[in-house]
Structure 1
Amino acid sequence: MGSPIYIQIHNQIRQAIEQGKWQVGDRIPAERLLAEQFGVSRMTLRQAIQTLVDEGILERRVGAGTFVASQKVQDRMAGVTSFTELTRSQGKVPSSKTISYVITTPTLSERERLRLNGEMQVLRMERIRYADQVPICFEVTTVPSDLVVSFARDEVTSSLYEALQDRGYTIGKAQQTVSATLASERIAEYLDIKRGAALLRLRQVTELRDGRPFEYTRTQYVGDRFEFYLENNR
């Protein structure tokens, strides 16, 4: 199975950045020009760019364009908690709506973060997550497909962590990065907010107890419906 066109473009743009064609802080060409360069529609090009934005490789600046992202100051968040567990701990009822659920070829970023080899494929799913029926975040989760091949779809989409733990897996540590972003038209529609509204973006790679990365998640939280609590033991 070949990679979708937008993933191929994603990979080429990321490689160009890694090879120094564009440096941190550089503005990349307009979508119209890039679409012509790659010979694709602007919709396909925009999907590739948005994937890079969600991964923190590119960043959009209102009225200015799209730029190679600068490195953000990071802090360590303690503990690994799933959205389901977190919502229940606050006395709310978690639920989700699955937007897409596909077995596909990983992007370079997914391959790198999940330490995939050869022709391994991934499950990539998009979900809207709710607390008491209020949309809290839009989440894109990528998992090695061999890990969940025996799982029913509803097990994975309702709570991946619970499905894994029910089969004897133990969740290990996670690496988390939080930054700010603005809602695109698509995300605004999913989360019932205005385009350009403030969002908190979390990128997380979670490992099993044996150190194998099993989940790469990009989540966009509605800024006024969610907050992160940071705890440092020093």
Structure 2
Amino acid sequence: MEFQRQQGSKPLYQQIEAWMTTQIENGTWEGGDRLPSEQFLAKEMDVSRGTLRKAIQKLMRQGLLEQKQGSGTYVRQQKISYPFAQELLSFAEAMEMKDYNFDTDIISQKIVQPSEWVQNYLDISLYDLVFYIKRVRRIDGEPALIIESWIAVDRCPGIEQANFNQDGLFNSIEMYSSSPISYGVRKFAAKVLNAEEAKLLHLTMGDPALHLSQQTFNSHDIPLECSQIVLRSDQYELTSVLKR
């Protein structure tokens, strides 16, 4: 698709901006692609470099393009957005809403005695067993987050039989619990990856990440599960829509 100047229409730099935006939105220019040099583009489009640069700078302010010193101008990789800060959704539910291709690696699953942290979050004793599961969720084959979850066995009997490769955490809990999930609490904090987390997320130890701690409750204010989630922040982000 070639750039075509529209006579008597918008200013030329806005026409270039709109054309470049179309190239990005229709996938002709993909995230991470390096644009041809300004000299080449200006010649091909028959415009001045100043006019072209004005369009590029607008797209940079919009977050569609970025410049890397000594390398050139690139299409910015767009982060996948999670609505975890505004809705009580599992990862699977959030990805299904956005029609993303995702899958799961189950690292470990077993019945265990709860740690002190789990006892406090689930309001149980040391002798109340929990079902523990550790998973890595991937989008298009790329690891996105690590989820460790603890579910009170006596509140979700048979939960260890759930197919967590296929079903989301919340759906599985509600399948085996006598009462549905009513609400949840999530806390967010910055963290740096340890060696194991970095290996699972294909990153480097010490890289920044986002940490979420989660509790979900039934309508009687009884906690059903608690989770620790590590989300890579280089390609994914949380969103929150706030209304006044």
TM-score normalised according to structure 1 size: 0.62
Aligned residue in 1 for 2:201:
191
Aligned residue in 1 for 2:114:
106
CA drift of 1:198 comes to 1.2
Equivalent in 190, 208, 218 of residue 218 of structure 2: 208
Equivalent in 146, 169, 175 of residue 160 of structure 1: 169
- Mark the runs of 5 or more structure 1 residues left unpaired by the alignment: 1-75
CA drift of 1:192 comes to 0.8
For 2:112 and 2:131, the matched residues in 1 are separated by: 6
CA drift of 1:150 comes to 1.9
CA drift of 1:181 comes to 0.8
What one-letter code is carried by the residue in structure 2 that aligns with 1:162? Answer: N
CA drift of 1:171 comes to 1.7
- Asked if the contact 2:159/2:173 (under 8 Å) is kept, the reply is no
TM-score normalised according to structure 2 size: 0.59
For 1:81 and 1:233, the matched residues in 2 are separated by: 19
Equivalent in 213, 218, 240 of residue 230 of structure 1: 240
Aligned residue in 1 for 2:91:
83
For 1:175 and 1:113, the matched residues in 2 are separated by: 11
- Match runs of 1:37-116 below 5 Å: 77-116=85-124
CA drift of 1:223 comes to 0.7
For 2:163 and 2:218, the matched residues in 1 are separated by: 18
Cα RMSD over matched residues?
Answer: 2.1
For 2:231 and 2:144, the matched residues in 1 are separated by: 6
- Asked if the contact 1:77/1:232 (under 8 Å) is kept, the reply is no
For 2:108 and 2:118, the matched residues in 1 are separated by: 17
Aligned length: 159
- Mark the runs of 5 or more structure 2 residues left unpaired by the alignment: 1-83
CA drift of 1:162 comes to 1.5
For 1:96 and 1:135, the matched residues in 2 are separated by: 9
Pair 118,99 (structure 1): closer, same or farther in 2 beyond 3 Å: closer
